[in-house]
Amino acid sequence: MSLADEARRNFHVTARVLPADLSDPTQVNRVERLIAEIADLEILINNAGFGVPGKFAEIPAERNAEMIQVHILATVRLCRAALPGMIARGRGSIINVSSIAAFMTSPGNTTYSATKAYLNVFSESLQDELKDTGIRVQALCPGLTRTEFHDRPGYEGYKTKIPEFFWMRAEDVVTESLDALKKGSAICIPGFRNRLLVAVIRNRVGARLIKALAARFGQRLEASSPTRR
């Protein structure tokens, strides 16, 4: 709520708040209805997301289903709700927040990577489909970013043990995303280091190297964190 106050105060805009748990299809319905009603919707940002690190076969099945619901089904439904109005007006933008995890297999983060890969293909295809409509669609693929994402259970040690070099500020991610949106890039990987990482991952030898390093880092975290054992 305080964020809405800040937006009203600093940018003189109308800010409405609609709390909704996007893992609950009924609540997604309410958001869909609101989106469809906004007559001058300029931009839809599907940002909600979370990780549940751990072995796929050990994570409760409901948590994987919730992630698919939030990352994929809610995003698809909210895009579908926004588009008829945007198409009729011949303008509008959609940003689906994905991840560089979309470009890699991630043992210990299997459903996360898979849902983000879906968002990339979905957003790129949608952008192709909408190319002559004046609407822009982007899958934003950040790497490690300083937010509350890694404060959740299972990520102990990430914020303190991964060197500062690998992290971006959320503000810088946003700036690069909006710049890329103006240029019409359907996939935005913010930060030179993240773009380099994705280029290495796409090379077969590079992918093996990154996997080995990630596995080693995972073992070190596990050894130093009692809650991950």
User: Active-site residues: which are they?
Assistant: 112
CA distance 7 to 37: 21
> Closest distance between ligand NAP and the C-beta of residue 27, in Å?
8
> Closest distance between ligand NAP and the C-beta of residue 50, in Å?
5
DSSP string of 14-51, one letter each residue: --------TTSHHHHHHHHHHHHH-TT--EEEE-----
Give whichever of 99 and 127 is closer to ligand NAP, judged by the CB atom: 99
29 binds ligand NAP (CB under 6 A): no
> Closest distance between ligand NAP and the C-beta of residue 133, in Å?
26
- The H-or-E segment that residue 11 falls in is helix 2-11
Both structure tokens of 25: 């299809």
21 binds ligand NAP (CB under 6 A): yes
113 binds ligand NAP (CB under 6 A): no
45 binds ligand NAP (CB under 6 A): no
Smallest Cα–Cα separation from 52: which of 24, 23, 75?
23
Of the candidate residues 56, 149, 155, 217, the single one contacting ligand NAP (CB under 6 A): 149
- The H-or-E segment that residue 192 falls in is helix 192-201
188 binds ligand NAP (CB under 6 A): no
155 binds ligand NAP (CB under 6 A): no
137 binds ligand NAP (CB under 6 A): no
- The H-or-E segment that residue 136 falls in is strand 135-140
Contacts of 174 (CB under 8 A, 6+ apart): none
22 binds ligand NAP (CB under 6 A): yes
Give whichever of 132 and 148 is closer to ligand NAP, judged by the CB atom: 148
Give whichever of 56 and 149 is closer to ligand NAP, judged by the CB atom: 149
